Structure 1
């Protein structure tokens, strides 16, 4: 499996983010149900950013991760200030394999 770290930046409490959050969480639930979501959640410093960890097949690239995450309502409706997706190598992997 290949892992990808997806960093979102957005205005904490922004009306558009709050309005889309239920749909965004349904999108993430779908990824979880498909076995693609490893973890997700906001940073706790109040800065309005979040981290999403996804896993895709061994052949997957950053472009594949971008294509998948383009379906997120937060990206689709352009409420993010920034999004960065990077390949990630969990050298000490604590996440269970399916």
Structure 2
């Protein structure tokens, strides 16, 4: 399994769209968490975006999950995807 850190940016011009899709986005995150695909996620303290940590077989699997997110692509953009090698094991 690979671990990826994904950073997103919220476009302030599309905040109404993002907030309208937020309930579906949170349900999607909960499902990924239950399936062991999502380790953790949360907004940045300044409200400009979020950081999500995924554990998936490979980059293609991650791309599939990111594409399926209910947030409109105009409202939330992925700004960084980095594969990460954690020093400690996650405890779901």
Fold in common (TM above 0.5): yes
- Determine which structure has the larger strand proportion and give its number: 2
- Please classify the TM superposition score into its range, dividing by the shorter chain length: 0.7 to 0.9
Asked if structure 1 preserves the Cα contact closer than 8 Å seen for 2:6 and 2:78, the reply is: no
Matched, 1:69 2:66: yes
**Greater relative contact order: 1 or 2 (C-alpha under 8 angstroms, separation 6 or more)?**
2
TM-score (norm 1): 0.79
Cα-to-partner distance string for 1:30-75 (whole Å, 9 max, x where unaligned): 10111111000001023x210110111xxx222221112110011x
Q: Give the number of equivalent residue pairs.
A: 90
User: Which structure 1 residue ranges, 5 or more long, are not aligned?
Assistant: none
Q: How big is the alpha-carbon RMSD for the aligned residues of Structure 1 and Structure 2?
A: 1.9
Q: Which residue of 2 aligns with 1:54?
A: 54
